[in-house]
Structure 1
Amino acid sequence: MIECLQHKEDITAREIIAVQQPAYTKEAELIGFDGIPALQEKARDIQASLEQFAGYRKDGKLIGVISYEKNMHHLTICRLVVHPDGFRKGIGRALLQFVIEQNEDAEKFEAVTAEKNTPAVSLYTQAGFQKIKTVKAEEDLFLSVFHLYPKRNVKVVHYNEKWANLFEKEKERLKLVFGPEIIAVHHIGSTSIPNMAAKPIIDILVEVRSIEAVNRYDAEMKAIGYTPKGENGIAGRRYFQKGGNKRTHHVHMYEKGDPAIERHLLFRDYLRAHPKTAEEYAILKKRLAARYPDSINQYIQGKDEWIKTAEEHAKRWEEGRNNANGSVVCYNSENDENGGLTL
């Protein structure tokens, strides 16, 4: 059984040491290097650690331990040890999978092991990790660095009335961060369209006085859970993601007057005004999500032709509306791949 470990407790810290000491002793023999720092650790060192720990117990006895550190959505495996009594029983693989499953929002996992530690190298490789580089740590010690980038699952769900409230709450958080820099905040994307099935990600468009000024707020955005992505492929925009691989919010910021603002709002308003068209789009998205649950790119490509047709309809619709007031607005959609929009 795998459980989270309260490593600050003395008895648990001693259990962890009782697993890792013999495990690292075996590794030292395997790789021909006896200077592994963890061999010198005591229970007090475990208690002082800022890592998160999980353990595998059999008949109540701790025989496997994994620990990690998480910075935003990047997770680093710090130790993965199995007592010699538990070798070749799948315990290390189970612990690694546990951490991956418990951190669905992680965008990157990193692990480092000795190049000569073939069981560990095989474990990470079989789990889908890719070797990124080799680092020389000591005269006779080379370390292999592995990365895993989990794929984002494509999931389209039924419309949720809570999405509007989630937008309002996030709107207030953004206003607290940016203050007078903000001119207006709009709910866009499929979650802004009543009864529309969508990926459950709240898209927010923010009009600001100066797009360059937005750069000064990256630290504040990180503090409320966002990852700054810069322009992210669209000139004149600032883009932020929240939730890592288990995305919850996208924020698109444009300077007042940027034509992208009108483009986003027009497509939203067009679908709001045409429920049958919105339902047609929802059916397409559900079908594509079921067909390509692990490929966001194929999901996007499958929507491309429909979106192009809808764009033309939206243009004509807007031109008809504007005949009454003399203004003309053009529309050119942006999708997930090049714009991060969750339509």
Structure 2
Amino acid sequence: MIEYLQHTEEITAREIIAVQQPAYIKEAELIGFDGIPALQEKPKDIQASHEQFAGYRKEGKLIGVISYEKNMHHLTICRLVVHPDGFRKGIGRALLQFVIDQNEDAEKIEVVTAEENTPAVSLYAKAGFQKAETIKAAEGLLLSVFHLYPERKVEVVPYNEKWAEYFNEEKERLKLVLGPEIVAVHHIGSTSISNMAAKPIIDILIEVKTIEAVSQYDTQMKAIGYTPKGENGIAGRRYFQKGGNKRTHHVHVYEKGNPAIERHLLFRDYLRAHPKIAEEYAVLKKRLAAQHPDCINQYIQGKDGWIKTAEKNAKRWKEGRNNADGSVVCYNSENDENGGLTL
């Protein structure tokens, strides 16, 4: 059984020491280095730690411990120890997976272990960690740094009427930060289309006066939970993510007049005006999510062809030509109550 530990309590801190002391003694013998700092730790050191601790208990006895620190969406594993009585029973792997599962928003997980600690190196490699670098920590001691970049989970859920409310709430927060630069704020993406199944991420498009001025607000954006990503592959854009790998919001910022603004709004209004086409898109997304639940890139690639075709049809629709469903309409972007249509 794995549970979070109240390490600030003395009795729990003593339990942790009782596990890690013999574990680190064994590691010291294995790597031929007896200067492991944790060997000198006392219960009071554990109690004073800012790490988050979890433990594996068998019949009530603590036999495995893992601890970590988290800064935004970067997680660092500080210790992973198993009492010698629990060696080679899958306890270390279970503790590691517990931390990964409990931190679904983590974009990067880092851990450091002695290069000669072959059981630990093997454990991290099997869990998908990649060696990033080797550090010389002391004479005769080399440390291996491992990184894991968890894939975002692909989840498409039924339409939620609160998505519009979530957009409005976030719009007000963003106005407090970017207010002096804002020209307009739009709800875009699938969560902006009534009755459409979607990934539960609120996409927000902000038009600003000058795109170069946006970067000066990065610190304030971080303060309300966003990660600034710069252009992130699209020239003329500033992009922000919220929620790490458990994404909740995307903010796309463009300077007023950028063609991408019209493209996003037109795609949204086209689907709002054509429920049958919107449903076709929803069916595609559900199928792709089922096929690629652990690979967001394949999910995105699977939609690419459909989106390009829909964008071409949306342009024809705007120009008043025959649509994919055979109807002819005239586009009016100011007529929001009717999905941008003058019938």
Question: Partner residue of 1:236?
Answer: 236
Q: Which amino acid aligns with 2:66?
A: I
What 5-or-longer segments of structure 2 have no aligned partner? Answer: 322-328, 334-343
Q: 1:298: Cα distance to partner?
A: 2.2
SS of the counterpart of 1:247? coil
**1:91-130 aligned within 5 A:** 91-130=91-130
Q: Which amino acid aligns with 1:98?
A: F
How far apart in 2 are the matches of 1:269 and 1:325? 9
How far apart in 1 are the matches of 2:158 and 2:282? 9
Aligned length: 327
Cα deviations by residue, 1:214-264 (Å, 9 ceiling, x for unpaired):
111111111111111000011111000111111111000111221211111
Normalization by structure 2: what TM-score? 0.92
Q: What percentage of aligned pairs have identical amino acids?
A: 84
- Structure 1 219/40 Cα, relative in aligned 2: closer, same or farther at 3 Å? same
Q: 1:325: Cα distance to partner?
A: 9.5
Cα deviations by residue, 1:31-70 (Å, 9 ceiling, x for unpaired):
0001001111111111111111001111212111100011
1:316 aligns to 2:331 (yes or no): no
Greater relative contact order structure (CA < 8 Å, 6+ sep): 1
Question: Partner residue of 1:158?
Answer: 158
1:51 aligns to 2:51 (yes or no): yes
How far apart in 2 are the matches of 1:293 and 1:315? 32
Question: Partner residue of 1:135?
Answer: 135
Question: Partner residue of 1:211?
Answer: 211
**1:295-310 aligned within 5 A:** 295-310=295-310
Question: Partner residue of 2:246?
Answer: 246
SS of the counterpart of 2:81? strand
Q: Which amino acid aligns with 1:301?
A: Q
Q: 1:300: Cα distance to partner?
A: 2.1
Q: 1:324: Cα distance to partner?
A: 7.3
**1:1-343 aligned within 5 A:** 1-320=1-320
Q: Which amino acid aligns with 1:288?
A: L
Q: Which amino acid aligns with 2:196?
A: M
Cα deviations by residue, 1:153-206 (Å, 9 ceiling, x for unpaired):
222111111111111111111111122221211100000000111111110001
- Structure 1 325/40 Cα, relative in aligned 2: closer, same or farther at 3 Å? closer
* Alignment check: 8 A CA contact 2:167 2:187 kept: yes
How far apart in 2 are the matches of 1:151 and 1:183? 35
How far apart in 2 are the matches of 1:3 and 1:132? 30
Question: Partner residue of 1:341?
Answer: none
How far apart in 2 are the matches of 1:92 and 1:151? 22
SS of the counterpart of 2:308? helix
SS of the counterpart of 1:244? coil
Q: Which amino acid aligns with 1:228?
A: P
Q: 1:301: Cα distance to partner?
A: 2.3
How far apart in 1 are the matches of 2:147 and 2:263? 38
Which segment is superposed worse, 297-306 or 40-49?
A: 297-306
- Structure 1 24/273 Cα, relative in aligned 2: closer, same or farther at 3 Å? same
How far apart in 2 are the matches of 1:285 and 1:99? 30
* Alignment check: 8 A CA contact 2:10 2:43 kept: yes
What 5-or-longer segments of structure 1 have no aligned partner? Answer: 328-343
How far apart in 2 are the matches of 1:295 and 1:94? 23
Q: Which amino acid aligns with 1:159?
A: Y
Cα deviations by residue, 1:72-126 (Å, 9 ceiling, x for unpaired):
1111100001111111111111111110100011111111100111111111111
Cα deviations by residue, 1:263-322 (Å, 9 ceiling, x for unpaired):
11111011101111111111111112112222222222222222222111111111129x
